[in-house]
Structures are given as C-alpha cells and as structure tokens.
Amino acid sequence: MSDKIAEVTSQLEKIKNGLFRMGPDRIRAMSTHETDDLLIELAKVTDAALANVASLKSK
C-alpha cells in the first residue's frame, strides 16, 4: 500500500508543478503548443492518480 501512496504523491507533485508552470508566478510564458501538451499530460496524470486512489479505497 505504501507504494501506491508514494505513486499518488509523485503524481500530485507532477500536477502541482504543471499548474505552477502555467500560473502567474511562472518563470516564462509557455507557447500555446507547450500549454496544450502540458494539459494533456496533466489530464493523464490526474486519471492515473484517481485510479490509484480508487484502488486504495477498495482495499
């Protein structure tokens, strides 16, 4: 179970980092192409994190 928790923690860090890269405190503005790619990546990470949480709930 601790492996799943570590994986969810890592996924949440990826989401947090991605949101920071698009937020007002970012270092540089991202191109539209970069933003689109990042949004697709974050959606996949979010889906995986939700699946991990669901598997933790079922145990």
Helix (H) or strand (E) holding 24: none
CB distance 56 to 3 below 8 Å: no
pTM listed for this prediction: 0.87
Domain that holds residue 6: 2-57
pLDDT, tens digit (0-9, with 9 covering 90-100), for 4-52: 999 999 999 999 999 999 999 998 999 999 999 999 999 999 999 999 9
Domain count, the chain: 1
Is residue 6 classed as helix, strand or coil in its secondary structure?
helix
**pLDDT band at residue 2 under the 50/70/90 scheme:** confident
Q: What was the pLDDT predicted at 1?
A: 63
